[in-house]
Structure 1
């Protein structure tokens, strides 16, 4: 005979389990980012796998609901203990399978899907089991004239829990606890809920369930003790500082955001760039600027390598819009950035430009990336119109673009879009024959007039030569492979693609 189960208790269980399952879904994105980046493909895989797990769990839970209440509740408690165990091992399982699966699958997009399935399907499956069982119990235990209300309340509790879990994960848990501790909280929630169901069912397996629950908590402890891949885990990114120094007395640091390097700086040579895109952006900005003390606006801060170099050169006002304060804090701590040398705006760059109509700049530099893709709202015709409106008459808009030699659809589309706004659009890259299918780094320079040079060299730290692609070739790429990107339609993730 089961214990008394008031509706409020069933609703509480449903809310807690639903909240915990959605926390896992949100945390999954952060966990995958250091391995595969954060892109449309990542979130598509996460949502699809988690929903598949929920659906299969709901189906199995429906089968369990047909059993006597005591057995249904005990089996559901077992499912929650299994959810706790599979959640507890997720952190270390991901680190174990990520690289082998990516290598085995070959195609990066399917690799992301395979990793997500391996790590997050089972936690979602087991977390999906309780909903139909608890709903069935709530209806059968309710008075005949209140069964509809009970069922509606259970659905509402699931939705409220999902909302609460999403908000807690996004606004509280990840930034304050980190992924491992957040999953430990979820594991504990599943453990308590599962043991409560065993207790309600008066199940003889309660002691065995308690042992399994302790194992789940112990596995969570192991995950907590495992070093985090992040130097800083912020609301937006997993950020790492990697020491690249050849000489300990002359430090060089690389900033890695999620799984990609976003800038490198040397303490003793602030004007030397260490990446192709930074070398081109730095040199083109200073060469095209209308005066030595030019003003500049940066879309994205990263390691602040170029703003730091500009400050060393003694340019005019430097404004940086960096959405993540944690990135700035790490740049100040590990990348020798003097916060007094720049004006820092911790907000989205488009909004920063939009809300300051009276401020004009000689140079605007776009260097913001999510994975290898520029955020979609920063590559549209509407954004480029805003950027041009914030430039002085002789000002220049510079933008870093990554694309593949055998595709160039993203480059062509951005050029085609910029040409709707700027009279002059140039494309610069390393002056060397690229390997077939290789990833290429470009910088687009746009303004009212073209550059008065078509080649330059810059130290990074070895001397590298860069050149402007011919106008005819750029036009051919733009017209044959490009499309105008707008706020309504800008499929930049699909255009840049990924190598086969």
Structure 2
């Protein structure tokens, strides 16, 4: 077999493994979110598949003529690529918000087999090309290097181009089709005209493809960051809920932008009213746009306010305009890109208020939870400016404590709003949910916040002073060098 042909087989099969690895995160996100645990499960599973495939493929190459193996390995790899989609959909529906163990199980069920079978191509090709033991090092080294190059190219092409340009599922199906076609062509070539592919194999491939195309798609829209959909509120026909991956992320009433559906957005409203009780305009920086609920609320309740929104995903800006009533203009500006990159572009002392509501899954992205980032937010607000941050945590609430400690290391005055009895003992299960952290270098209008909250007939708890310090205890301050956000975060009990 020509050296160029063997190199191409190793290059493309290795590239396909890494294409699947990168796309696995997007395929899994609607069911288990996007966290460090998910990426850990994906990387570990693919590495396990590569290790097993290298051993298993080499074992079979010693037992049988590799000419009979390479084509079937590619065909099976293509068929198993098709199957990743229905496997994730079938198992993922019952594992939404899964813990680390079930995330690993789901990832393993979907991606271990295709990674192993496609990796088995390389040792089979090595055995086919190795005609002289004196050339062992050269042959193995060359093909290993070519396989690594394929993996690198597959990673770059998928991460930089495919994810941004093409939806995940069609990409996986195209990979499957190409692998099957390459496998059939290779089998015909290496078997020299004998029956290359059995009828049963073709039937199995067709069935795998049909299952793939029949799988339910949980996304109405898909970007490089999120699987998104917009749902109409059955009880409030003008209400629209924006779902991102596993979370109901935002809510907008098309007829009444003053309506704040979520408790934490109502707390944002309490702070805003306490800061500007007569509807005065506010200069506001929003970290995370989502459904653009708060910019539209400020436009309606505090006319003349100016909102600058830092949103990582251009799709969400378009979706908010198309389906959530957003009209960009002089008073609402959207800047797309990661907030750590776009935040330095805002002027110092330019804002009265920062609304920090950026989330990846149920966690504040770690690089937006550190002292280093909060110092940028402190620079953005004037001396009397206020930062409000939405945080989710449960049980011991170790992440909340760490975020409060971090905020206190930057701002002179800190308080936190939570539901009644949300700040109980660390060993009590079930405590938690959303919290809103309030911070400023100037004294906070806490009495006014509490009054506004009571006027809404709420009995929420506002923690500050010595009680806050006792709650925070010896929690760690998060920095760019040390921010184990996913590990500190306690998920919803029994999730």
| Common fold by TM > 0.5 | yes
Whole-angstrom CA distance in 1 between matches of 2:343 and 2:430: 36
Supply the RMSD in Å over aligned alpha carbons: 2.5
Match of 2:208 in 1: 219
Q: List per-residue Cα deviations over 1:286-344 (Å, max 9, x = no partner).
A: 42359812100000000111111011121421100001000111111111111124110
CA contact (8 A) 2:61 2:124 kept: yes
Contact 2:69–2:124, Cα closer than 8 Å, also in 1 = no
Q: 1:175 to 1:347 in 2, by over 3 A?
A: closer
Q: Distance in 1 between matches of 2:12 and 2:400?
A: 47
Question: Aligned partners of 2:126, 2:432: CA distance in 1, in Å?
Answer: 52
- Cα distance in 2 for residues equivalent to 1:63 and 1:196: 24
Other-structure match for 2:473:
479
Q: Post-superposition shift, 1:211?
A: 5.6
Match of 2:247 in 1: 260
- Does residue 1:51 correspond to 2:50, yes or no? no
1:355 alignment counterpart: 345
**Shift in Å at residue 158 of structure 1?**
1.0
**Residue of structure 1 in register with 2:293 after alignment:** 305
Query: How far is the alpha carbon of 1:442 from its aligned partner?
Result: 0.5
Map Cα deviations across residues 145-183 of structure 1 (whole Å, 9 max, x no partner).
x66444333122212211221122223333333122111
| Counterpart position of 2:69 | 75
The answer to whether the 8 Å contact 2:348/2:379 transfers is no
Residues 316-325 or 351-360, more deviating: 351-360
Kept in 1: contact 2:274–2:452 (CA 8 A): no
The 3-state SS of whatever aligns with 2:352 is strand
Aligned residue in 1 for 2:376: 386
Among 66, 84, 88, the alignment partner of 1:90 is 84
1:174/1:225 CA distance change after superposition, 3 Å: farther
- Residues 358/134 of structure 1: CA separation in 2 closer, same or farther (3 Å cut): same
Q: Aligned equivalents of 1:491 and 1:223: distance in 2?
A: 37
- Tell me the equivalent position of 1:296: 284
* Structure 1 residue 99: Cα displacement: 3.7
Q: Tell me: CA distance 1:238–1:107, structure 2 relative to 1, closer, same or farther (3 Å).
A: closer
Q: Taking structure 1 as reference, are residues 470 and 363 closer, same or farther at Cα in structure 2, changes over 3 Å only?
A: closer
C-alpha displacement at 1:263, in angstroms? Answer: 0.6
Tell whether 2:369 aligns with 1:375. no
Determine the C-alpha separation between the residues in 1 that align with 2:359 and 2:184.
45
Any gaps of 5 or more consecutive residues in structure 1? none
> Paired residue for 2:399?
410
1:260-284 Cα deviation digits (max 9, x unpaired) = 1111111111011111111112321
- Of 366, 386, 391, 1:396 maps to 386
Find 1:119's aligned residue among 110, 115, 127.
110
- TM, length-normalised to structure 1: 0.90
Deviation, 1:225, is: 5.0
- Show the 5 A alignment for 1:230-309: 230-246=219-235, 250-288=237-275, 292-309=280-297
SS in 1 for 2:409: coil
Alignment check: 8 A CA contact 2:61 2:69 kept: no
* Residues 30, 410 of structure 1: alpha-carbon distance in 2 compared, 3 angstrom cutoff: same
Range with bigger deviation, 264-273 or 186-195:
186-195
- Structure 1 residues 162-171 or 108-117, which shifts more? 162-171
Matches within 5 A, 1:406-485: 406-431=395-420, 436-448=429-441, 449-453=443-447, 455-457=450-452, 464-480=458-474, 482-485=475-478
> Shift in Å at residue 438 of structure 1?
3.7
2:61 to 62, 65, 87: 65
- Map of 1:178-197 to 2, 5 A cutoff? 178-197=167-186
SS at match of 2:131: helix
User: Is the 2:310–2:343 contact (alpha carbons within 8 Å) kept by the matching residues of 1?
Assistant: no
Residue of 151, 165, 173 corresponding to 1:176: 165
Q: Distance in 2 between matches of 1:52 and 1:205?
A: 33
Whether the 8 Å CA contact 1:16–1:189 is kept in 2: the answer is no
Aligned to 2:11: 15
For 1:468, what is the secondary structure of its paired residue? strand
Q: Is the 8 A contact 1:183 1:220 kept in 2?
A: no
Measure, in 2, the Cα distance between the counterparts of 1:94 and 1:107.
Answer: 13
Alpha-carbon shift at residue 214 of structure 1 (Å): 6.0
CA–CA distance in structure 1, aligned partners of residues 258 and 186 of structure 2 = 64
Q: What's the secondary structure of 1:382's corresponding residue? A: helix
Whole-Å separation in 1 of the counterparts to 2:285 and 2:211: 45
Output one character per residue of 1:66-88: Cα deviation in whole Å (capped at 9) or x when no partner: 245xx223123222222222211
Structure 2: stretches of 5+ with no match in the other structure = none
Deviations 1:182-214 (A, max 9, x none): 111111222123223322331745131x76246
1:20/1:456 Cα in 2 relative to 1: closer, same or farther (>3 Å)? farther
Instruction: Compute the displacement of 1:464 (Å).
Output: 4.1
CA drift of 1:221 comes to 4.9
3-state SS in 2 of match to 1:296: strand
Partner Cα distance (1:235, 1:213) in 2: 34
1:131 and 2:118 matched:
no
**Equivalent residue, structure 1, for 2:142:** 153
